[in-house]
């Protein structure tokens, strides 16, 4: 990320990486905060799994009007995750490891794992950067990575005050 600097007068304030998903940890979003701009770069993926290309955005401090962080419970993800976890646990746990001898046991275990991952990803943290023309840049990450987003917002706000 340090090679994104255009000139020698630009100094790096913070370089922070956040995971987009708990399962696909190899697709992070990078925040490079300098004394002149904020640079956000992430990898694009097919179906969220296979990396294909990148996307990036550079925001100068003159164009940023506000920076907000928030958390949200996605109720649909939560309900589906709870249902899959309950159904997979009910089907897999009483039988134990002997369930893996059949294809149905393997499918139920995979549903259990998928349900737990949906439950973990149902509570998210969001960073919203609004520019002066009314557009917004949103970055959503799992709640576990929320502290990193708050750190990014703190660095950006301190630079906005100094700019």
Residue 3: pLDDT over 60: no
Contact by Cβ (8 Å): 123, 22: no
Percent of the chain whose predicted confidence (pLDDT) is above 70? 82
80 φ/ψ angles, rounded to the nearest 5 degrees: -65, -45
> What's residue 148's pLDDT?
93
Contact by Cβ (8 Å): 55, 42: yes
Q: What is the pLDDT of residues 15-72, one digit of tens each?
A: 999 988 877 777 889 999 998 899 999 887 766 556 678 888 999 999 999 999 999 9
Contact by Cβ (8 Å): 29, 6: no
CB atoms within 10 A of CB 98: 8
């Amino acid at each position: 990320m340090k090679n994104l600097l255009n000139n020698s007068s630009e100094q790096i304030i913070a370089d922070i990486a956040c995971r987009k998903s708990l399962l696909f940890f190899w697709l992070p979003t990078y925040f490079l905060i300098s004394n002149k701009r904020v640079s956000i770069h992430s990898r694009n993926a097919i179906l969220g799994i296979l990396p294909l290309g990148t996307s990036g955005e550079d925001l100068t401090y003159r164009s940023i009007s506000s920076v907000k962080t928030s958390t949200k419970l996605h109720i649909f993800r939560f309900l589906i995750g709870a249902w899959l976890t309950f159904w997979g646990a009910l089907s897999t746990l009483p039988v134990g490891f002997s369930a893996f001898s059949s294809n149905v046991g393997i499918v139920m275990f995979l549903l259990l794992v998928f349900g737990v991952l949906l439950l973990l990803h149902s509570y998210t943290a969001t960073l919203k950067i609004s520019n002066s023309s009314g557009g917004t840049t949103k970055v959503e990450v799992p709640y576990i990575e929320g502290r990193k987003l708050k750190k990014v917002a703190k660095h950006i706000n301190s630079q906005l005050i100094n700019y």
